[in-house]
Amino acid sequence: MTDLTRRAALTLAAAAGPVAWTAGAATTASASPAAGAAGGASWTRLPDVPANTTDWHDAIPVGEPYWTQLGLAGPIAGAHGDHLIVAGGANFPEPALTATRANTLGKVYWTDAFVYDRRTRQWRDAGQLPDAVGYAATLSTGDGVLVIGGEGFRGGPGGTLQRPAEKFADVYVLRWDARRGRLERTGLPPLPRPMSYAVAGIVDGVVYVAEGGDFVALDLARLDDGWTTLPRWPADPRSVAVGAAQDGRFFLLSGRAQHADKSWTFYRDAYAYSPRRRTWERIADLPWCVTAGLAHPVGRTGLVVVGGDKDIERWNLIEHHVALRNAAPPGSAEWQRHNDVVTWIYDHHTGFNGELLRYDTRRDRWTVDGWFPGPPPATTPAVNWDGDLVVASGEVGPGIRTPRVWQAEF
């Protein structure tokens, strides 16, 4: 381990404390308060994430007058001091798929990085990540943004119709060097296996990560020991869950899983892992599924859950017709029929969960605590910025992203 890596790890561990952090040319806009978001949060809209600048394929109109930021699902998002870092992520920048127009790229993973300075209220270009990364677990710490796993393409942006996205086991810290105007990256021990859509939290200087059927931990003060495999929560494996640390425990909420018959289950169950006791405990079930949502600690005993999806019937219907479309000859009448169904469902998608849920860790109780002020998000990290929650970009419907950035004070 290098001295830089060791210093970074010790700073991360110290920043975590007894209750962990959780966990994405200048553009200028003034922040504005949100209207109509009831509950215990005061919401402010920050300037939108800037447009991607990497002009890497003719199918994407980067640089055209109408080009703008479409929004990013699964971005790296986190806070470092006075700066919000948003990098990577994925979207669909091509026109919609039809019988006479095939997509060239599919889902596109980006390398562009941006930094927002809360003192100047400006975004600036922060260069490029070495790899195109989306759907990593990210945690904000005093020493930078901890990035865990993810998926995408090595060496630059790419699309899933060009080649399959690769899952990563990389773990590293991104920090913004304001004096030099650049992102710095420090590597940490890689995961035991590649993971995307994982969730993570830090309790007493130890990082906990859950994904699929695996639960692993890394002591930031003992990096040479690497990752430790821990007992799994007492329930089904799952992906795209919600995770956070609060009140000295790591919480795993909701998620989804696909079965052998290709059907899906959306989960409402929830669990808390106590590092002190080294045991899992089932806590009160969520009132509905929040798969792909995000969670943020509030005070000493509160956990607020934002967004996510609960509509299992709609999800299974989409998956069913996508499978039938993919099995039909491209452009055939059968292909067109199933594509029309998928397009109709997408066009009339009513969005994700708008209610904010609050969990009381001492009373083991869920309550509704207001509404998200804009289109509710999914697949974006919860950014803990000095106790405030920042929701940067994300998905607001199938294939639809948002460039908006919201900040909540609880």
Position 348 confidence tier, pLDDT thresholds 50, 70, 90: confident
DSSP labels for 322-361? HHHHHHSPTTSHHHHHHHHHHHHHHHT---S--EEEEEET
Distance between CA atoms of residues 333 and 317, nearest Å: 19
Give domain status of residue 339, yes or no.
no
pLDDT at 14: 40
Whether 90 contacts 134, CB under 8 Å: yes
Taking the C-alpha atoms of residue 112 and residue 126, their distance in angstroms, rounded to an integer, is 8
Q: Confidence class of residue 29 from pLDDT cuts 50, 70 and 90?
A: very low
For residue 341, tell me if it sits in a domain: no
Q: Looking at residue 188, what is its pLDDT?
A: 99
The beta-strand segments (E) located in 102-150 are 108-109, 112-117, 122-128, 131-134, 137-141, 144-148
Query: 88 and 152 in contact (C-beta within 8 Å)?
Result: yes
Q: Is residue 254 part of a domain?
A: yes
Joined together, the tokens standing for residue 378 give: 């999914």
3-state class (DSSP) for residue 242: strand
The reported pTM is 0.90
Residue 281 belongs to what domain range? 3-309+352-409
**Domain-embedded: residue 347:** no
Edge-first strand order for the sheet with 158-159 is: 90-91, 108-109, 158-159
pLDDT higher than threshold 80 for residue 247: yes
Where residue 259 sits, what CATH number does that domain have? Answer: 2.120.10.80
Q: Per-residue pLDDT averaged across 238-260, rounded?
A: 97
Q: Is the pLDDT of residue 11 over 70?
A: no
The reported pLDDT for the residue numbered 98 is 62
Distance CA 94, CA 101 (A): 10
Could you tell me if residue 343 is inside a domain?
no
- Number of domains within the chain: 1
Residue 13 has pLDDT above 70, yes or no: no
Neighbouring residues of 339: CB distance < 8 A, sequence distance ≥ 6: 97, 98, 99, 325
Question: Does 57 fall in a domain?
Answer: yes
| Residue 101 within a domain | yes
Q: When comparing pLDDT for 9 and 171, which is higher?
A: 171
pLDDT of residue 86: 99
* Res. 17: pLDDT tops 70: no
